[in-house]
A and B are shown apart, each in its own frame.
Chain A
Amino acid sequence: TQLLEQSPQFLSIQEGENLTVYCNSSSVFSSLQWYRQEPGEGPVLLVTVVTGGEVKKLKRLTFQFGDARKDSSLHITAAQPGDTGLYLCAGGYTGGFKTIFGAGTRLFVKA
């Protein structure tokens, strides 16, 4: 069974702090996506990474794909209350295998 382990499951921090969310697997992915979901809404795609070692930045968010394409991290600098939400990672494969999702990290940023 393919698994994508996401940690931590829950994170409550003060505004201005930094944080990192991790996704790890024993599987090699051809791509990995990060989504953010707010209550009552569907997940919104933040980024797709496809190259081992790739780093992408989206304002205060930095995404990294592991060299072996088995893991990824999301780092948020100076978190703000607007960053509150459920963060999901998803690993994709070529060849028709279905994408697998992590269990999610629920982030709460206190003002």
Chain B
Amino acid sequence: GAVVSQHPSWVICKSGTSVKIECRSLDFQATTMFWYRQFPKQSLMLMATSNEGSKATYEQGVEKDKFLINHASLTLSTLTVTSAHPEDSSFYICSAEEGARETQYFGPGTRLLVL
């Protein structure tokens, strides 16, 4: 099956610093990748849709200057949480869509803790 990796798996940082999370599709090319945020015991909340070679599309209420997304290649998308604050602490999950299929394959997630 399609494999998606995420790095790092967890990160602890100080308030005010920026954190970059990488999402890679390992065995397929993904023109579209998605970034989600998940709060404890809740479902996924879509933050943005990342398209290779173009600007990301952000969901309502998600600050694009706060959560910078770059999708520079067909196998890599990055999410940078800028000037992180404790309220940004969460579980961030990416997914990649394989070709024209509608199925998303998820990464293992990145747990961010901002002190």
Contacts and interface: CB of A to CB of B under 8 A. Distances in A.
Interface of A: 30-31, 33, 35, 40-45, 48, 86, 88, 90, 92-94, 98-99, 101-104, 106
B41 A44 contact: no
Given A30-B102, A99-B102, 12 more contacts: A31-B103, A40-B111, A42-B93, A42-B106, A42-B109, A45-B106, A48-B102, A48-B103, A90-B104, A99-B104, A101-B44, A103-B42
Contact of A42 (B6, B49, B101, B102): B6
B108 interface: yes
A102 B42 CA distance: 11
By DSSP majority rule, is chain B's interface helix, strand, loop, or mixed? strand
Interface in B69-115: 91, 93, 95, 101-109, 111
Nearest to B105: A45
A87 B102 CA distance: 18
B106 A35 contact: yes
